[in-house]
Amino acid sequence: GTKKKASCPGVGLFYTVLSAFLFSVASLFLKKIEDMHAVEVSAFRCIFQMAFVLPGLIYYKTGFLGPKGKRIYLFLRGFFGSSAMVLLYYAFQSMPLADATVLTFSSPVFTSLLAWIFLKEKYSIWDLLFTLFAIAGVILIARPPFLFGSKIAGIEGNYTDRLKGTIAAITSAFSTSLTFVILRKVGKSVHYFLSIWYYSVIGFTGCIITLFLMNEWSLPYCGKDRVFLVSIGVLGLGGQIFLTKALQKEKAGPVAIMKTMDVVFAFILQILFLNRLPTWWTVGGALCVIASSSGTAIRKWHQSSKKAKQNEI
């Protein structure tokens, strides 16, 4: 027989770091774009994804609608997934890059809570503790006036815009969690390309309708902004590909922990290219949220490993 070629140790974690870097650079380019709404940027991102996924759907012969019993889940996955993207882009435009990135890492806590409600998975005292850590991190980053006073140190610009960005980032994390729960419900019965196809088509349709109602549709006038726009689509797609490959090579627990490199890259890029030093409040909030998401990932990883050993016995 032929020997199966052994995969390089740690290649899955390398793909995770590379994915985090590509997503962070795409976020930086989004901050650099001027006079363009987050919904419009999201629409272009969806176009890139549709152009990439379409040949895959034809090659694998998956069809465009999917199995009849799974279509409602695919629709909900597309709706919540694309909503998370639009809200995240809005958060990036409304608040510092590092702050918005940190807030999105509260999604594992929401996922545990939603899985307990909809999938009847266990929700222990540890999950509650991780939830409290995430809430503490959000409070330190948002710094609401009723807790920190009317003169809030370290906040630049309009606090109302920052508050909108904070709400958008948290809602994005919640929508991402709903997407994870739906994908967990669907399992491996639907091809990954079909899932991205629903995400792209529903996202693009929703963005077009929103732009029409807002009367915000306009191509960027500056050539540099157009380069940034194309780069966001390419980098976002590359980030998704490498994250998918990482999950194919490595267990979900280590990937979730290594994905916290998103926060590290966001801090570095914000300092180097946006000339903004994060405050100690942001650093403290980041530590709380990272501890919460990492703790959740480690616990789930330990539970799955324990269950696998029991099955072997």
Please give the C-alpha separations between residue 49 and each of 21, 54, 63, 66, 286, in angstroms, as whole numbers: 19, 8, 17, 18, 30
At residue 277, the 3 state secondary structure works out as: coil
Sign, Cα dihedral of 26, 31, 272, 143: negative
- 4 by Cβ neighbours in 10 Å (0-12 / 13-18 / 19+) ranks as exposed
Give the pLDDT score at 308: 66
Which of 15-24, 72-81, 277-286 has the lowest average pLDDT? 277-286
Phi, psi of 144 (to 5 degrees): -65, 140
Q: Residue 157 above 60 pLDDT?
A: no
- Tell me the longest C-alpha to C-alpha distance in the chain: 73
pLDDT at residue 1 in the model = 46
Residue 205 has pLDDT above 90, yes or no: yes
Query: E strands along the chain, which residues?
Result: none
pTM here is 0.80
Q: State the alpha helices, DSSP H only, in 149-260.
A: 159-186, 192-214, 223-249, 252-258
User: In a 10 Å sphere around its CB, with 0-12 CB exposed, 13-18 middle and 19+ buried, how is residue 50 labelled?
Assistant: middle
According to the per-residue pLDDT averaged within each range, which of 114-128, 135-149, 225-239 is highest?
A: 225-239
Buried-state track 118-142, b at ≥16 Cβ within 10 A, e below 16: eeebeeeeebeebbebbebbbebbb
Considering the chain, what percentage of its residues have pLDDT values greater than 90? 7
